Structure 1
């Protein structure tokens, strides 16, 4: 045995600091705790996990391009919507303008028609006024000529004066053909049946009653089988007649018939009169 076998070492034992010992104790404790938790969480024979999950690789350039394309698509949609709104507004305005223009055209057309009708009516009234003035002048001359005839021709004078008066009455009535029928009207461009008859006989200074009932008894009853030009025809019973007119010859009479016909010449056979009176 070597002579140094029992010689104790002269190196002093190293003293470990308290902090180093505490650190080692903490590490050991942590490892033991981890092992204990793993053992409690899984079966003793659990296989180790061998599958790995790969995280997707992010390409910054591609992501930026995708964002740009999305922004462009959204901008295009917004542009299309705005364009559609503008087109709809333009179409609505065009429709309103067309409707307004059509209404204005119709209004102008109606106004022109109304003005043309007024001019035609004014011309017709002027023509009738001139014709009536001429007829009145002829009747006045005829009456003056008859009154200056000699006493020796008195019988002929009466006949000629009656004939001239009848002619004046009939001429006046014919000048009113085409005038309107209006109940209660008394001329000069609209009449009812009795006002027209009354106005005609006023041309020869014969004053008749205003209404049909009284006109049907104003003269001598002559019936309808022996009519003469100028006889007053009536429909309904004498004293309660509802319509009058004047016989103008050839089986015809002239009257203010009704609102749809106005003043017309009609065939007596189509609407036979009840009776007649003679005042001339």
Structure 2
């Protein structure tokens, strides 16, 4: 003879089938899990692109500093060249004046050559030798002085040209970096749009799951009412509990953290949280705008700790910490050690503060929403 328990179970299954909640709930759960995986992948993609764009921004800042330095050197060379050219002009004018004077004096000389007259007017042989030596030295000195100044001017011009060529290379490199950064920004915007689309699908899917769970609860109540009419209260309660246990969605595991102890950057949490609302800026490291590593390095500086300017470099510092044993002040990373593409500062309670992506602002986030790959403690 078929038991009341069996009849009730069959009746409940029939109700679920009629409502269409059994298979759909499983499918919805599977779909949500798939979407969550896609969302995680999209978030990683956005973070990687942002890290690359930030690295380009830092490189552009360095290039601009180098261009400024090259420009200053060129200006310095211009001043020196102007002075050297003025000296060349002055010495050339002096030599021309001397030549004109000699030509004028030659017309009044006995021999027609002032140098020759100068030597002939010597008092004795020693005086002749002395005057000849003096004339030669004067000519040699004038010529050498002019050549020295001209050589110096040419050397300066060569150095200036080298500086101009170097500046041209720096400007071309800056243009390439900016072009690369623009391309990365475009990709980041596209990836962010995909991320938002996936998040919407997840939200819609979760709403559908919630509705189905409500249908299940209603089916439970109807099954319980039917069972109560066919068996004793004790049997009915036992049957209902069995059905509820079979249909109740599995609880989501929660990550717990131990409070009390703190990481070395715990004192920087207040500074980081004070930046909430500051816009995301590629390569930014000031309250005018931050990228992910710019925020952590800025916060760390407030407690006297100097951090490198990229997430990849920061991920090599300190020692590894299990994600199940985090302390406020630990650094969270996405990617691998030495190749991380996103960084955040853990603030406790399963949350962290970070600069997410272009178009967003510094904010706090739950690890359940976007879980890091690993953590480091300084």
TM-score (norm 1): 0.40
Relative contact order, higher structure (CA 8 A, sep 6+): 2
When the two structures are superposed, what TM-score results if normalisation uses the length of structure 2?
0.30
Larger helix share, 1 or 2: 2
Task: Give the greater-gyration-radius structure (CA).
Answer: 1
